[in-house]
Amino acid sequence: MVLASGRAPFTLATQIYGLENFSRAMYKNKKFAHEILEFTTNLSIAYFETMIGKGLVQGAFVADPTASGDVISKRHFEEFVLPYLKRVILAVKRFDKPVVLHICGNISDRLKLIPETGVDCLSIDTKVDIEKAIIEIGDHICIAGNVDPVNVLEFGDCHEVIEATKECLRKGTGKGGFILMPGCDPAGGVSEENIKTFVDTAHNWDV
């Protein structure tokens, strides 16, 4: 399956205006912050509609790294992320296509809010425990994750890749929808050997 990968409205807003400037606006100029989010929401929707509407892809992969719990509070997530993210995902779902959402860092405190977005699958970073995610929302949406892309895939040896991959599979399989993935984008320095080990371990997994 080929997915169109694009940024969510909140992350686009922080990239356009700057994370520090936008963070300040969330406190001192909320009206302006929401105006930026209106613009980035329309931009995000236009991108995904173009990609999916032309039949170039089979779905959407929406990335929202700065919506992380390492960056903003749950309260700000509810006000500045959730409403706009819902609109983007609804636009994609009108094409009857699947949507995967990835948010970097620790989002344990906002897991229960994710099903409200309408996504089909949540890709979690290494900081989020797979079992916790499955317990909290696994009966609503699929969970994907979350082998460490740096300490394991980039800098680990084959044995470490095998063990980390098996641990994710042990936690995720047999408990609802689960997709094995790296916890975030693998770096360019990840060796071919480690990638092959990661894939082979999954293919050879026996529940």
Stretch 75-98: mean pLDDT: 97
Query: Is residue 194, in this structure, part of any structural domain at all?
Result: yes
* pLDDT value for 207: 63
- Domain presence at residue 119: no
Task: State residue 161's pLDDT score.
Answer: 97
Residues 48, 3 share a domain? yes
Confidence of residue 176 (pLDDT cuts 50, 70, 90): confident
Q: Residue 33 sits in which domain range? A: 1-108
The structural domain count of the chain equals 2
User: Pick from 55, 73, 108: which residue ends a domain?
Assistant: 108
Q: Is 66 helix (H, G, I), strand (E, B) or coil?
A: helix
**Residue 145 phi, psi dihedral angles, 5° rounding:** 155, -165
pLDDT at residue 1 in the model: 85
Based on the fold, state whether residues 5 and 104 are members of the same structural domain. yes
Is 113 part of any domain?
Answer: no
Mean pLDDT across the chain, nearest whole number?
95
- Residue 173 pLDDT grade (very low, low, confident, very high; cuts 50, 70, 90): confident
Q: In terms of domains, do 94 and 159 share one? A: no
The CA distance from 85 to 93, in Å, is 12
Q: Is 6 in the same domain as 46?
A: yes
Angle (nearest 5°) at CA 204 between 199 and 207: 120
- The model's pTM is 0.93
pLDDT band with cut points at 50, 70 and 90 for residue 56: confident
Which whole number is the average pLDDT over 170-179? 86
Residue 120 located in a structural domain: no
Q: What is the mean pLDDT of residues 11-35?
A: 97
CA–chain centroid gap for 55, Å, is 23
pLDDT-derived band at 206, boundaries 50, 70, 90 = confident
138 within domain boundaries: yes
Task: Please indicate, yes or no, whether residues 101 and 158 belong to a single structural domain of this protein.
Answer: no
84 and 164 part of one domain: no
Q: pLDDT band at 187, cuts 50/70/90?
A: confident
- pLDDT tens, residue by residue, 113-166: 999 999 999 999 999 999 999 999 999 999 999 999 999 999 999 999 999 999
- How confident is the model at residue 112, as a pLDDT? 97
Return d(Cα 47, Cα 7) in angstroms, integer: 10
Residue 51 lies inside a defined structural domain of this protein: yes
Secondary-structure percent of the chain, ordered helix, strand, coil, rounded to 5: 55, 15, 30
Position 92 in a domain: yes
Kindly tell me if the per-residue pLDDT of 53 is higher than 80. yes
Same-domain status, 37 and 102: yes
Residue 73, Cβ neighbours under 10 Å: how many? Answer: 12
Domain match, 137 and 188 both:
yes
Residue 90 and residue 158 in one domain? no
In a domain, 45, yes or no: yes
Query: What percent of the chain is predicted at pLDDT more than 70?
Result: 99
For residues 79 and 163, state if they share a domain: no
Residues 52 and 153 in one domain: no
Instruction: From 78, 108, 138, give the residue that closes a domain.
Output: 108
* 17, pLDDT greater than 90: yes
